[in-house]
Structure formats: structure tokens, C-alpha cells
Structure 1
Amino acid sequence: MQAVVLAAGEGTRIRPLSASLPKPMLPVADRPLAAHAADAAVSAGADELILVVGYEAETVREYFGEEYAGVPVTYAVQREQAGTADAVRAAREHLDGEFAVLNGDNLYDPAGVERLFEAGPSVGAHRVEDPTSYGVLSTAGDSVTDITEKPAEPQTDLANTGAYVFPAEAREWLDVPASERGEREITDVLARTVREHEVTAVEIDRWLDVGRPWELLEANEWKLAALDRAVRGSVHEDADLRGAVVVEEGAAVDSGVVVEGPALIRSGASVGPNAYVRGATLVGEDATVGHGVEIKNSVLMAGATVGHLSYVGDSVLGRDVNFGAGTTVANLRHDDAPVKITVKGERVSTGRRKFGVVVGDDAKTGINVALDAGTILSPRVGIVPGETVTRDR
């Protein structure tokens, strides 16, 4: 079966991390987000991957190449971000027979995707506490009878996960009209499939739609928790690695360092001396954690540097960020309420009691800078030494 992986989106809600990198290519453990969707598809039996690209398409092409995980890769270009049905329509000329569709910015339980592929025409479903924020599936037994977008009074708690298997004729049903929000929705294609076929709701036990910065942190918490200890890089005899810690070949851990897993230290990265890394932490390729630095439950993307005597907690640092010595991140409000951050101009609760900062590529802080919880720094922003930053910059 062919699997269409949607990887054309920019990801405006996850800015500034997507300012020059497609959201599906943001790092989750040892690979981009879209690669987890592709892996799930291949594991479930996909014999071809069709990647729909658009924003910063070359980044996707460079990573996946012409073959990925032993299966051929074909690319389709969505020239305008006009919705999910439009994205699949961009791949139409490559489709031949029954086909699957997965969102490249979602994480799926691989076993659930395998059941989806085996079920024929189907849609992935996940039980949620508050269905009003999702497309909600109505069912009779396992068969889907209807789908309603963000209903005020949901009939079920089954959320649409954006994972589908469509019959071959759905290739001709992709020219749907634009919705009220101006996009051509794949759910309209699903609705027609429900009218003309029996469509199975396949429950996916674990699923995460990674749309906002704290969800990227959650995605890494999920995948890093599955690590098995492996030490292939250089680790000083006086370093202390505890639990599920992976040190890739080419990475270096200096003396006096304590790493409490789950943690992944990628190739080219250096940690220490006398640093403390704990929680679910990704230290990306060629990243640097300096002397006396503490990193807790955070993502440091490729090339990020945290200078000596600094603290970073529950944060996401973009590529080539440079924190000067003594930079301190606050990750807890004094009133103990969930931390809020700005998403598309509005302050939104992360739902997390502890959350630090989100920093775009190439941003820099001087020495002894303090960053308040929920602060966002845009790409290439510079913060002068000694400043306390309480608002987005």
C-alpha cells in the first residue's frame, strides 16, 4: 500500500521554531517528526512513501532522499497551503489503488497504524477528555457513521487522528470545495467515503498532534522514554550516567558530568565538565552544554550552546542558539498556575505547571541574562548582558 505523508506545512502555531524549518522536520529524539510517521507507515507495510512537500521542501528531500527505510520515496509539491485534501490532491498522479494518509506532524502508536492498514477503508480514532477541540467520529459498532468538526455537544469521545486508509476511487474525490476557513479538508473526502463504503474506526492507543512548542517537548518526552541505554561516544571515567542514556558516536561527556536518563546526546555534542543533565532531554547534534550548566527536560536543537553556569529547564532552544554564561531560565510561575505562551498573537495556556522558554534559531543572550517562564525569543534576537526578559522579544 502507498502511504501519503503530509509534510508541506510551515507550522505557524509553533513559531519561531518553524521560521526556517518545516514543522514536520523539527527534532523528536533521534529523527525529525515526519520520520516517526514514515517509520510507522513502513512498519505497517507501506511499499512506497509519497511525501507531500511545500514550505522549505528541500530540507525534507535532503533527509528522506529517494529511498527511506528500504522503501522508495516519491515527492509531490503542494504549491499553496490550501488544506489537507489539497495536499493529498497534489499526490494524486502518483496514487494507484488503495492508499493511506498520515499527518507528518503527528506521532502515532505504530501498532495502531498497523491495525489501520489491515482494516481497509478506515480512520484512526483516539479517545480524548475534551472532544470539542477535535473532529469527532460517530460510530455504530466499529463503523463510522459521521464526522463533526469541533462539536459543542460531542456524541462520542473519539477524536479523528488524521490517519486514514482510503479506497482507490477516493483518488477522484479530492476536488472538494473550500471550507468556511478557506481550506479544502480531507474530512470532506472521508465523509464521502463513509457514504459509499463501510469505514472502520480504528482506535490508536497513543497519539499526539504536535502543533505548539510545548507539544514538541511532549513529543520528545514520549520518544525519549523509549530509549535503551547505549554509550558509543567518549565518556570521561569520572562522569556518571544513570538510567536510559544514549551517547552517540562522536559525542563527548566530560568529567564531573551527571546525566539522568532518559537523555539523548547526539553526535558532535559536548557536555561538561561538571554539568547536570536530567529529565527527558535531547542534546542535539553539535550542541554544547558548558561547565557547571544544568539542563532539565529540554530540547537543544543542532548547534545550540548553553554557556557555563547557566540553567535551562522545560525549554526548547532552536538551532545555533547561544546562551551566554550565567543565563537563567525560569520555568515556574509564582502563583503555581500553568505557564502561558503566545501562539499566533494570543496568550495560551500550555497546561504545564513547569515550562520555560522557546528560542528561535541563532538567538543570543549575553552573560547573566534572566528569562521569565513563557518567554519567546525570535530568531537572531540578541539580549544584552544582565537583562531580565519578561516579555516576548
Structure 2
Amino acid sequence: MQCVILAAGEGSRMRPLTTSRPKVMLPLAGKPMLEHLIQNVRDAGITEILLVVGYHEEAIRTWFGDGAAFDVLIQYVVQRKQLGTADALRSVEPFIHDTFLMLNGDMILERSDLEKIISLPCPVMATSTTTHPESFGVVTVEGETITSLEEKSLRPKSNIINAGAYLFDAGIFSILKKIAPSSRGEYELTDALTDYIRDRTLKAYPLSVWMDVGYPWDMLTANEHLLLDLTGEKAGTIEENVIVKGQLILGKGSVIKSGTYIEGPCIIGENTVVGPNAYLRPGTTIGNNCHIGHAVEIKNSIIFDDTKIPHYNYIGDSVIGSRCNFGAGTKIANLRHDHGPVKVGGMSTGRKKFGAVIGDDVLFGINCSINTGSSIGSGTKVAPHTLVTGTIANNTVVR
């Protein structure tokens, strides 16, 4: 069996984190999101993978190569213009042998669910449930049979949604050739499923675990989940008078300096220096070549590679891009005074605690204050003693 993974899109809802990388390469628990998916596909028994790539495809090709390092065989199919999921799937037709698993590349699934899906007769759609079905494709089900599918309905007929994982055979391609562009000008895979639904042949498989990583704050939820079963591994150096409680992965060449207190689960990448006297709280994932310095506290945050947070900083419930630098005393707020859900760009995160989304190459002067729900574009420069709030475009100078 083969697996097709759609990984061509930018992920515009993830801006500014996708300024210079595709969405599927955003890091979760120390690895690109796509790597977690490929590993689970492999562990479910599928080793031939077709990756549909497009936006910043070089990042995906460089990381995964031919797949040998991950014990799989990867072929790349390029979707030059993102014209919808059906268009992406049509591009792999020449490479498909027979039955195949198809997955959106921006979600978290369990190996056990993948094993069960591929054991079923096709066609199959994986489903999940949600408290906000209006944001997804809503399905109705009778027994195991899917009876309707409606995209982003204002009046959802159920709380059961299309989870973006399917089992098809080569017969899907004859259906794809018949569909017309949607109102958005895209070829939608959901339109192709109409034939199966009408014939009552599309079966539902309810997933035990499913996480859609659609917005930056979803990264924190997925990161928290992936860290639950973390097994500690310490390949770096831990100096005397360091306290580590809970599970910690410490990468090669990294050093934790004296006086640092770590509450796991936490991940620290390679060639990163932490401390002295730093405090890392649960859920924190720090990339490679970072510096987390004296009197810095980081809580439940994702820090990308090559970022420096060196003096008297607080980072809470935030996602920080690569090559950022925080001036001494710069801090991020993560809780509203009314304890209501934090909003980013007018959209609720659904989280009582959320700090900021910060793109790549953002430079902060000393003693800056970053308000809850701020989104700061890549390449932004912030003057000392500045309050930053709201949404800041890429390459802005904030004074």
C-alpha cells in the first residue's frame, strides 16, 4: 500500500510562521509536524510515500530526502499552483498502484488509527468530533455509512467532521476528472466524494485522536499532546546544581548551566545553552543553537532554532520563530485581566493563557512589553521600552 500526503500549501492561517517555510515543517515536540505523520505512517506498515509539495518545497526535500533516513521511500510530486485538494490528488495518479491512504499533512494522528483504517475496504473517510463544527466539513452518519457532507455550514447538522484522512483505490481518479471548480476557484476533494455518498459506499472511521493544526495556538495544543509520552534522553551536558524534574530530552552539544531548574516534559535541541539560573516549565520545546540565559523563565512555549532569549525575560504560552533576539527585560504577557479567552487578530484562541506569535528574525530592544494575543511579523524591529500589541506586519519598525 502507498500513502499520499498533501504538503503543498503555505498555511496562510499560520502567518507569520510560514513566511519562509511550509506549514508542514513547523516544529512540534522537536520535529517538523510532517515527520510525526510520516513516522506513524511507517509504523502502521506503509513505507512508500508520495509527498505532494509546492510552497517552499525545498525545505521538505532537504529535510526528508529520499526517505532512507526515516526507513521509507519518498517520491515528490509538485503542485505548482495550489488549486485545491482534488487538484493535488490528481497530480499523483501516474504513481498510484492500487489502494492508498491519503492524508492532509497538517494534523496529528495515532498509528493505531492508521492501522485500522488501512485494514478496511475502501472508500473510507476518517471522522472526528468537535465543539465548533462550523469550521470544518460536517458529516452525518447512519451506522458506519456517511450520508451527507457539507463544508463549513453556519447551521451544522452534527458535530461529526471530516478529519482529512481517507482510504481510496484508483477508482477515485475517474471521479476527480468530472468535478468543476468550486466558488473559490479550487477543485475540492469533498466534491468528488458526492458520488460515493450518493451510492452509500463511503464509510466513516471515527478517530481516537485527531488534532488539526490550523492556527499557531493549535501548535501548543499539539505540542502538549506529543510531550505526554516523552521518554527522557540526555545527550548534552548538565552542570552541577541543576534540578530536573520530569522528562527531559537534551540534545547533543547542549549545556544546562548551574542554578537552572527544569520541570518536564521539556525538549532542548542540539548546541543550545540554557542558564545559568534559568527556569523552564512544562510543555517547553527549544530548538537547536538557541541561548536561554540568566534569569529567563519559559513556560509551555515553542522556540524555533537559532533564537536568543538571554537576560531577564519571561515567555509564556507563545510560539517564537527562528533567529529572534530578545533584549534584556523583554517579556510576553499571557493572561487577560478578565481571564477571558485570548484573541489574536480578532479570532479567539480558545485558550485562557496565550502569549504571542512571533515570526522569524524579530529583534527586540531592552525592556519591551508584548501584550497577550500579539502577532509580530517576520523581520520586525522593536525599539527599547516599547509596548507591542495587536497584529504587526512583516518588516515593520515599531517605536
**TM-score interval, smaller chain:** over 0.9
User: 2:188 aligns to what?
Assistant: 185
**Higher mean displacement: 287-296 or 154-163:** 154-163
RMSD: 1.4
Counterpart of 1:186 in structure 2: which amino acid? L
- Is it true that 1:147 corresponds to 2:149 in the alignment? yes
**1:337 CA displacement:** 1.3
Q: Please show how residues 236-275 of structure 1 align to structure 2 within 5 Å.
A: 236-275=239-278
User: 1:214 aligns to what?
Assistant: 217
Question: After superposition, what is the alpha-carbon deviation per residue over 1:280-311, rounded to whole angstroms, capped at 9, x for unaligned?
Answer: 01011111111110001100001111121111
Mapped partners of 1:307, 1:248: distance in 2: 19
**1:196 CA displacement:** 4.9
User: 1:20 aligns to what?
Assistant: 20
User: 2:58 aligns to what?
Assistant: 58
Q: Are the equivalent residues in 1 in contact too, given 2:145–2:200 (CA < 8 A)? A: no
User: 2:391 aligns to what?
Assistant: 392
Counterpart of 1:329 in structure 2: which amino acid? I
Q: Are the equivalent residues in 2 in contact too, given 1:375–1:391 (CA < 8 A)? A: yes
- Is it true that 1:72 corresponds to 2:73 in the alignment? yes
User: 1:280 aligns to what?
Assistant: 283
User: 1:198 aligns to what?
Assistant: 201
**1:212 CA displacement:** 0.8
User: 2:396 aligns to what?
Assistant: none
Matched pairs, number:
389
User: 2:379 aligns to what?
Assistant: 380
Mapped partners of 1:157, 1:337: distance in 2: 24
Mapped partners of 2:210, 2:157: distance in 1: 21
Mapped partners of 1:337, 1:181: distance in 2: 34
Q: Are the equivalent residues in 1 in contact too, given 2:147–2:200 (CA < 8 A)? A: no
Q: Are the equivalent residues in 2 in contact too, given 1:317–1:358 (CA < 8 A)? A: yes
User: 1:350 aligns to what?
Assistant: 349
Mapped partners of 2:155, 2:375: distance in 1: 35
Mapped partners of 1:39, 1:144: distance in 2: 29
Structure 1 residues 98 and 194: CA distance shift in structure 2, 3 A:
farther
Counterpart of 1:228 in structure 2: which amino acid? T
User: 2:89 aligns to what?
Assistant: 88
Q: Please show how residues 306-345 of structure 1 align to structure 2 within 5 Å.
A: 306-342=309-345
**1:127 CA displacement:** 1.8
* Secondary structure of 1:147's aligned partner: strand
Mapped partners of 1:228, 1:75: distance in 2: 32
Question: After superposition, what is the alpha-carbon deviation per residue over 1:96-122, rounded to whole angstroms, capped at 9, x for unaligned?
Answer: 111111011111122112211111211
Mapped partners of 1:364, 1:133: distance in 2: 35
Q: Are the equivalent residues in 2 in contact too, given 1:257–1:275 (CA < 8 A)? A: yes
Mapped partners of 1:120, 1:197: distance in 2: 13
Q: Are the equivalent residues in 2 in contact too, given 1:170–1:193 (CA < 8 A)? A: no
Q: Are the equivalent residues in 1 in contact too, given 2:344–2:390 (CA < 8 A)? A: no
**1:201 CA displacement:** 0.8
**1:30 CA displacement:** 2.3
**Higher mean displacement: 332-341 or 356-365:** 332-341
User: 1:371 aligns to what?
Assistant: 370
Mapped partners of 2:191, 2:383: distance in 1: 51
User: 1:125 aligns to what?
Assistant: 127
Question: After superposition, what is the alpha-carbon deviation per residue over 1:253-287, rounded to whole angstroms, capped at 9, x for unaligned?
Answer: 11111110110001111110000000201011111
User: 1:116 aligns to what?
Assistant: 117
* Secondary structure of 1:290's aligned partner: strand
Counterpart of 2:118 in structure 1: which amino acid? F
**Higher mean displacement: 88-97 or 315-324:** 88-97
Counterpart of 1:193 in structure 2: which amino acid? Y
Counterpart of 2:94 in structure 1: which amino acid? E
Q: Are the equivalent residues in 2 in contact too, given 1:95–1:171 (CA < 8 A)? A: no
Q: Are the equivalent residues in 2 in contact too, given 1:50–1:76 (CA < 8 A)? A: yes
User: 2:395 aligns to what?
Assistant: none
User: 2:106 aligns to what?
Assistant: 105
Mapped partners of 1:66, 1:367: distance in 2: 45
* Secondary structure of 2:4's aligned partner: strand
**1:382 CA displacement:** 0.6
Counterpart of 2:225 in structure 1: which amino acid? W
**1:218 CA displacement:** 1.3
Counterpart of 2:301 in structure 1: which amino acid? S
* Secondary structure of 2:38's aligned partner: helix
Mapped partners of 2:369, 2:72: distance in 1: 48
User: 2:397 aligns to what?
Assistant: none
Structure 1 residues 195 and 168: CA distance shift in structure 2, 3 A:
farther
Give identity over the alignment, percent. Answer: 40
Mapped partners of 2:134, 2:375: distance in 1: 28
Mapped partners of 2:369, 2:340: distance in 1: 20
Q: Are the equivalent residues in 2 in contact too, given 1:235–1:253 (CA < 8 A)? A: yes
Q: Are the equivalent residues in 2 in contact too, given 1:29–1:223 (CA < 8 A)? A: yes
Mapped partners of 1:49, 1:221: distance in 2: 27
* Secondary structure of 2:195's aligned partner: helix
**Higher mean displacement: 41-50 or 302-311:** 41-50
Counterpart of 1:348 in structure 2: which amino acid? M
